[in-house]
Structure 1
Amino acid sequence: MGCFNLVLTEANTLATEIATSVTRDRRTQSYVAYKGLVWLEARIIQEATAAR
């Protein structure tokens, strides 16, 4: 059985930005297949740095 965790939108902005990009731009290929997007890499680094 699966497990779900409820988090505030502010705590998971990167996932929200990815979902918005996927639906807005109608992306049918994985971000991994494209090796990510420039903005995605920058956001991952930003979020990782902020978590320290």
Structure 2
Amino acid sequence: MYSLTGQLVYKQHVKTTLSNKIHLDVQLNSGVYILQLRTISNSYSQKIIVN
């Protein structure tokens, strides 16, 4: 997870599961972040807003 300035604020390696769900136990300040998930063959990014 990155701040909008590009600073890495959280990193976690996860194993895939059949449910395709990931639980992130992280405390973030209010703001906008970019969540980036990467696999061997794909990359996914999503804007996250924390109030």
Q: What TM-score range do you get, normalising by the shorter chain?
A: under 0.3
TM-score w.r.t. the length of structure 2 is 0.25
TM-score w.r.t. the length of structure 1 is 0.25
